[in-house]
């Protein structure tokens, strides 16, 4: 029986630079760092879900298929987070907008490797 998604993993050829970007832009705090030759990366926690940013031998350069997946981060106010991230130089694909099928707002931004991340919450 499936119970929950426990982690989102983002692979990068320069995981340290990408992890530092997430720390700087989203104010994430490191939970753990691993430097094992077959398991290298930095672990964060957002709510009940872990975010792993790690090195993968098969990943090089920036994401060339950025629309394939994205993950949401719940916030109290999408508009406030949007303004805060904008002042930190975060590049947005979509400015805050109301969802057409629910009473939530979204805003979508790119991380340093061109992966898409979406904010979700109240206006």
1: domain CATH number? 3.10.180.10
Whole-number pLDDT of residue 38: 84
What does the alpha-carbon distance between residue 65 and residue 80 come to, in Å, rounded to a whole number? Answer: 29
pTM of the model: 0.92
Rg value, the chain, Cα: 15
In the predicted model, is pLDDT for residue 37 greater than 90? Answer: no
In this structure, are 18 and 31 located in the same domain? yes
Q: Taking all residues of the chain, what is their mean pLDDT, rounded to a whole number?
A: 96
Provide the domain count of the chain. 2
**93 & 105 share domain:** yes
CA 3 to chain centre: 22
- Looking at the fold, whether 43 and 68 belong to one and the same domain comes out as no
């Amino acid at each position: 029986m499936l119970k929950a998604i426990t982690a989102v993993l983002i692979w990068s050829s320069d995981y340290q630079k990408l992890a530092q970007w997430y720390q700087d832009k989203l104010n994430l705090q490191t939970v753990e760092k691993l430097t094992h030759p077959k398991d290298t990366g930095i672990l964060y926690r957002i709510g009940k879900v872990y975010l792993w940013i790690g090195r993968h031998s098969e990943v090089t350069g920036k994401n060339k298929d950025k629309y394939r997946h994205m993950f949401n981060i719940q916030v109290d106010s999408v508009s406030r987070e949007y303004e805060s991230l904008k002042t930190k130089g975060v590049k947005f694909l979509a400015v805050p907008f109301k969802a057409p099928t629910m009473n939530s707002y979204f805003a979508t931004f790119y991380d340093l490797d061109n992966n898409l991340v979406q904010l979700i919450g109240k206006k």
